[in-house]
A and B are shown apart, each in its own frame.
Chain A
């Protein structure tokens, strides 16, 4: 099997063939050799200037692999362009391209992918030569910017040769100034009289020196003009006088000559040439279909042999020279007005059976036949590509964003079921579920009348219903529609399903999301794991990413921050690898990470993650993400002590078809914590009365509130009978143990309290769960104050931070410590760090006293200078403060470290990892 598969693709990655009459010009080939000494080469000239043949001939004789890409008009999206360029690199054996990954989103390419590619190329011993032909077709400025980036960072690992009609928007002046640009421009490409004479000789025409000079003057040495001249003259009875006449004329060259050459062709050849002008590429069979004849094969072969208009791409595919194609298209419009649409329709019909889907769709759209075009898409089961990556078979072709663009032109009078399915898919990809539903209603009605035919359309309809149900949080509808999809899968050709793995992945991802919303976590996990485990290709990247982040959310809700974080990171890494654009990709993954960061008391990080998630998606597309946003944001506000804001966030409505038990319970948990922080424990307990029976986390929250209200018994009751359904991970059990410890403490059982607290702290430490400890309140500090346990606690480090940003209720008289933004240095300490015996007399084995307060930034500065043996005066000078200020800082450093002298302070700080 050809690694490139698609013949269209193959022709775009192959070095183009030269015409039989190609004239090698050594002065140009010699100049092009300099390309091996510069990172960038630009071959610049108008249509038909002979750019491509020059570079192709040079590349073929190089005896080194060359990555060749001919840009196509459909490569306008950066993701598509890079997918093809990477494919071109792979095709010439550049293994580095494999490591870079695949862009899955057509509209964008991830910057890290480009950075990976550039770094890998930079590390190569043998530089890779990359030719991008017809670069003028690239209209998106970001592609050029990205290419410039890769070029710059690939360093000596890449020679880029751009063949283009227009100057690219690269900083060419800089390359010129640095002497790192090889430039071949139109004037250099122009034929000299001697070269022109030799070229015409290849066509069997002998020209006197002054005749050649005159011809070059008339055509300005334009390669295409000379070639047409030769053709026209060849066919005339007296070539020499024909050329003289032409020289004297005033017509525009290509136009005039082409008309001359065309009119001398037999009528059927003219007809064929005009008709194929609507095609980018064609084979004899396709040309026959357009012309309604059988003999296109020999005609095309003859034209190719005569070097007239037609270029051979290999594998019996041809194309018209772009310049001639444009002019022939103008002739077509004049000679057969109105035929163009019909030709596109015929091309689409032919391609439907033998060609790649995108070409079929493009011609169908060009014909304005939207019913046909929509049907071609739906019958291929490609409807999922409105949402995901490409089918597995064409890995190089990322998600057809062009699909959305292509169908945006769809006429409103197309009202067949397939056209409506396309409209529904577009609405769903815009998250406009109402509009989608309205279309799907019509589709169902129309298809029901047509049973049992049109299985592909019915399957697509059911799939879109699953998606709509997922987006609106309607689990019942999702299950029903999914069932329909599974039944219909038996009625469509299995190879179609194999070609579209994105269908199954989308189905499972959205079904899983709907089940998650309904609170059926185990069923949801089953579906989501299937979607997440799907093939590693780009086509399923989006459902995979969505499923992973939903699995992460469930882990978080069940109190497992570690696994939640790992899954969310896996989702984001995967998304990055396939360059999913932000609106399509991240969102929930970042929200889960933000919520985990709150549990770890990394509030700034949480804020940054939240901002990133909401920047990508100001409006959450589905209820699961919306609820995730409410929970993460409210928890952060709570942790920052913004009680009112947290309550407002928790009250914000999440629109959905049915209510979600976990969304309600977890929101209630936030509301309860907010009431507790405001000193209203009764209200806090009441809010969770129902939820406590359903969810471990809520039972713990209710217990905490009961304890604060003075109902220790009720609190222990709640903890003694946790809801059977979920035991909960460390985020739940740590909080539960702390409530128990507090209850024991209140009951005067100090030993039990300390044992429970020690266990809770050890568990918390393992998961880096600082927030539950901070929430626990000031009693913990009293409990652990002068206790051997304090060593472990101090090492854990949450103690010093207590009260900084805690929303926990403050006991009367508890001192509130000044806010600081320094991270806790003590967290770096391993559990149970001991200090050197000498610093803690008299009992050597005793663990180190805890650092009850972290050092301020200024104190840290002073401490560092102390360690450099600077005197007090030197420190003052260095920090631009007075000696007295330094002394004040020193005193508090001593106090916080529990030492009395400089050298002790330094040693102790080293032991604690503060230095």
Chain B
């Protein structure tokens, strides 16, 4: 499964390291994290990680392989 997670604001390079398994790109006031997600547990883990870093998740969607 591949997912992309759109969070509010420009993430710093340092903070992006908190998601080592994902790539990221910064655009127009948002940061898009994207990459492979192993399973549901990983998915919920990513959401929890966003929350614990104080990130605001705007969108989360599965993208075609």
Contacts and interface: CB of A to CB of B under 8 A. Distances in A.
Given A250-B29, A252-B31, A323 B52 contact: yes
A326 B15 CA distance: 9
A224 B52 CA distance: 12
B44 to A, nearest CB: 10
Nearest to B53: A326
A641 B2 CA distance: 64
A657 to B, nearest CB: 44
B61 to A, nearest CB: 20
B12 A254 contact: no
Interface string B26-52: 000101000000000000000001011
B18 interface: yes
A60 B25 CA distance: 46
A48 B12 contact: no
Interface in A244-287: 249-256, 259
A165 interface: yes
Interface residues of B, number: 20
Contacts of B53: 47, 254-255, 323, 326-327, 330
Given A255-B15, A330-B18, A323 B9 contact: no
Contact of A47 (B7, B12, B54): B54
B10 interface: yes
Contact of A259 (B14, B17, B29, B54): B14
Nearest to B29: A250
B8 interface: yes
A334 interface: yes
A537 interface: no
B22 interface: no
Interface residues of A, number: 27
A250 B56 CA distance: 13
A259 B31 CA distance: 17
A251 B10 contact: yes
Contact of B11 (A255, A326, A331, A334): A255
A333 interface: yes
A252 B18 contact: no
B60 interface: no
Contact of B54 (A166, A249, A253, A329): A253
A327 B12 CA distance: 11
A222 B51 CA distance: 13
Nearest to B15: A255
A47 B52 contact: yes
Contacts of A225: 54
A252 B10 contact: yes
Contacts of A254: 53-55
Given A250-B9, A250-B29, A252-B8, A330 B54 contact: no
Nearest to A322: B52
A46 interface: yes
Contact of B9 (A166, A251, A259, A330): A251
For the complex of A and B, 6 pairs with smallest distance between CB atoms: A252-B9, A254-B54, A330-B18, A255-B15, A250-B29, A251-B10
20 contacts: A46-B54, A47-B52, A47-B53, A250-B9, A251-B10, A251-B11, A251-B12, A253-B54, A254-B53, A255-B15, A255-B53, A255-B55, A259-B12, A323-B52, A326-B18, A326-B52, A327-B18, A330-B17, A330-B53, A331-B14
Given A252-B7, A259-B12, 13 more contacts: A222-B54, A249-B10, A250-B29, A251-B9, A251-B11, A251-B12, A252-B15, A255-B11, A259-B14, A323-B53, A330-B17, A333-B18, A334-B13
